[in-house]
Structure 1
Amino acid sequence: MDAKAAIKEIKQGHVSPLYLCYGTEKYQIQEFIGVLKETIVDRDQQDFGIATFDLVETPIEVVIEEAETLPFLVERKLILVRDSSLFTAGKEGGKIQHKVEALLSYIENPAPHSVIVFVVQGEKLDERKKIVKTMKTAATVLSFMPLGGGELTQWVARQAEKQGCTIGRDAAEALITAAGVQMAALATEMDKLCLYAGKGGVIGVDAINLLVARSTEQNVFVMVECIAGLKLEQAMDIFYDLLKQREEPIKIAALIARQFRIMLQVKDLARQSYSQQQIASQLGLHPYAVKIAGEQARKFEPAKLRGVLSELAQLDYQMKSGRIDKVLGLELFLLKLAV
């Protein structure tokens, strides 16, 4: 079952007594937990109906004891449990010893008055563990991973619709380019943009350029995009803006090198028939970043990308050793790159 289907079931009143949520997309996990909170416990009774535990500090048997204890002033209670090792291959940072048998026994006969949600911030579960196999059989296990390139733009459009606004594909992509791929940051920016546009308003690229501040990393990303599109004047404007913001030229050069390295890696893996999701997993990147890097990489031959990385390595040495003025060196590199 995926998260959408689970949310649909919850809203229809079908709530599982046990959930195991894992993945790297924290915003989606919190959204899911928010739906559970609204369904299980009235807002004015959440102090009595919600308990939170961290297995770094609390043995699992204490969580089970809480689940088996009858709730006070509420029909059902929600128990949120953060885990970093019980369901994964990771090593526990604390010294707590967990009696996993207590959880295995509870899974066989969960309390009808409690809903336990285990939250694992990690890409995978340890499939070798008995507790993971048991949870997959008897509980609801949900994966919350980053959305793919097209899915992320669709999600942005849905966020606008929820607030009575509309945003086109170009504007959605401009927002992702400016704000990054983290859904929490995108949601915050969407709140601001929808407030600016008003009910029934249309969010355009101009509004995004006006209201959304880009980080240094995103500015460099856009600068490389301009270079790939032979828009030298725009690329240099971004570079000078970064200097006005007192960004260190060596840091800017390192970020440019990172983007070109990603482009080369994406190009090489794509030639080996890796899918976008596989490349993202292999490189530890968001699928949308892989999508954009792939589009940028098409404008360069592999030999050109390797040459650029070699020149950046040489420029880095020259700047750090004082053999060239840092600003001048980066200016000359950008001018040469756009030729």
Structure 2
Amino acid sequence: MDVKTAVKDIKQGKISPLYVLYGSEKFRMNEFAAVLENQLIAKEDRDFAVIPFDLSETPIQAVIEEAETVPFMVPRKLLLVRDASLFTAGKENAKLEHRMDTLTDYMQQPADFSVIVFMVNSDKLDERKKIVKAVKTAGTVVAFNPLGAEELLRWVEKTIREGGCVSAPGMAEVLIASAGTGLQGLSGEIDKLCLFAGKGGTVDAAAVESLVHRGTEQTVFTLVEDIANLRLDKALDSLYELLKQREEPIKIAALIARQFRIILQVKDLSGLSYSQGQIASQLGLHPYAVKLAGEQARKFEGRRLRQILSAMADLDHQMKTGAIDKVLGLELFMLRLGA
């Protein structure tokens, strides 16, 4: 089931006795659990009614025992179970014996006063396991995959509106370029920007640039973007900013090479008619990063990208063997690219 449908069902009172949440977007997974908690449990009852478990420390039979125990002083209870590797191909904790038959039996006749939520930090479930097939029948399985490029932009704009502010045109792109694609980090930066703008205020690109710290990878991305657009002065400014932050020149060179490698891979896969989502899955990247790399790829020929990567490999060897001063090597490399 997709996230929107699951949330809609919860708000309409259609609560499943058991949920399995999985995927790489932990922030959205926690948001979903919060929606479920708000719908099920009164604020004053949460100390008694919301019960956390960690399957790396607690066997599954203890979770089921708690689910079958009548709640004390509250009408319903919510069991939040983390590290649920029972549903994945990952290695299970050898120190604990999980009796999976207790979960299988429970799913056939779940308690009407308990809701169990398994939170699985994995991109996929192990479909070969009987328990995965069983839970898909008896419960609700919800995937939390990375948002697509356009979805991420809409999420930023929606979160700003929910913070009581207005986003200026183009601000979302600038924020993502500065803070990255992680929803947890973006949420924190949005809180800060809305606090700065004030209730009803406008968050614009200037506010982002002055208040949001740009990470090393984001700075390297901007550096490559400036090279692609022949803005050599700005690219050098980015380089000097990284050096001022005491970043190791060899690391900077490696990150530049990584970005050009991504651009080449996106260009090659796009040429084979792969979709943005397929490329993201193939390369293990966020769809928004693929979108930006695709825009950069249009500014280079494939042959030119391969030449750049070859030159980066030579520079890496020279820097590591002391054949050239590290900073000078980077400066000369960028000047040649600009030329």
Normalised TM-score (structure 2) = 0.97
C-alpha displacement of 1:230: 1.4
Cα contact 2:51–2:79 (8 A) shared by 1 = yes
Cα contact 1:24–1:122 (8 A) shared by 2 = yes
Cα contact 1:166–1:202 (8 A) shared by 2 = yes
Equivalent residue number for residue 8 of structure 1: 8
Q: Taking every aligned residue pair, what percent have the same amino acid on both sides?
A: 60
Matched, 1:32 2:32: yes
Equivalent residue number for residue 284 of structure 1: 284
Aligned 1:182-197 pairs, distance under 5 A: 182-197=182-197
Equivalent residue number for residue 311 of structure 2: 311
Equivalent residue number for residue 110 of structure 1: 110
C-alpha displacement of 1:218: 0.9
2:256, 2:84 → 1: CA distance? 34
Q: Output the aligned Cα RMSD.
A: 1.1
C-alpha displacement of 1:297: 1.1
C-alpha displacement of 1:98: 1.4
For residues 265 and 169 of structure 1, do their structure 2 counterparts lie closer, same or farther at Cα, with a shift above 3 Å needed?
Answer: farther
Which segment drifts farther, 40-49 or 24-33?
A: 40-49
Which segment drifts farther, 90-99 or 181-190?
A: 90-99
C-alpha displacement of 1:173: 0.5
Cα contact 2:269–2:279 (8 A) shared by 1 = yes
2:228, 2:30 → 1: CA distance? 37
Matched, 1:264 2:264: yes
Q: Deviations 1:278-303 (Å, cap 9, x if unpaired)?
A: 11111111111111111111111111
Q: Deviations 1:159-215 (Å, cap 9, x if unpaired)?
A: 011122121451100000000000000000000111111122111110100100011
Cα contact 2:23–2:122 (8 A) shared by 1 = yes
Equivalent residue number for residue 251 of structure 2: 251
Equivalent residue number for residue 167 of structure 2: 167
C-alpha displacement of 1:225: 1.0
2:306, 2:128 → 1: CA distance? 41
Structure 2 stretches of 5 or more lacking a match?
none
C-alpha displacement of 1:119: 0.6
Equivalent residue number for residue 154 of structure 2: 154
Equivalent residue number for residue 133 of structure 2: 133
Structure 1 stretches of 5 or more lacking a match?
none
Equivalent AA in structure 2 for residue 14 of structure 1: K
2:65, 2:12 → 1: CA distance? 29
Equivalent AA in structure 2 for residue 195 of structure 1: L
Q: Deviations 1:246-276 (Å, cap 9, x if unpaired)?
A: 1111111011011011111111111122111
Equivalent residue number for residue 230 of structure 1: 230
Cα contact 2:51–2:78 (8 A) shared by 1 = yes
Equivalent residue number for residue 181 of structure 2: 181
Cα contact 1:56–1:94 (8 A) shared by 2 = no
Matched, 1:275 2:275: yes
Equivalent residue number for residue 61 of structure 2: 61
2:170, 2:338 → 1: CA distance? 25
Normalised TM-score (structure 1) = 0.97
Which segment drifts farther, 54-63 or 116-125?
A: 54-63
Aligned 1:194-209 pairs, distance under 5 A: 194-209=194-209
2:207, 2:177 → 1: CA distance? 14
Equivalent AA in structure 1 for residue 332 of structure 2: L
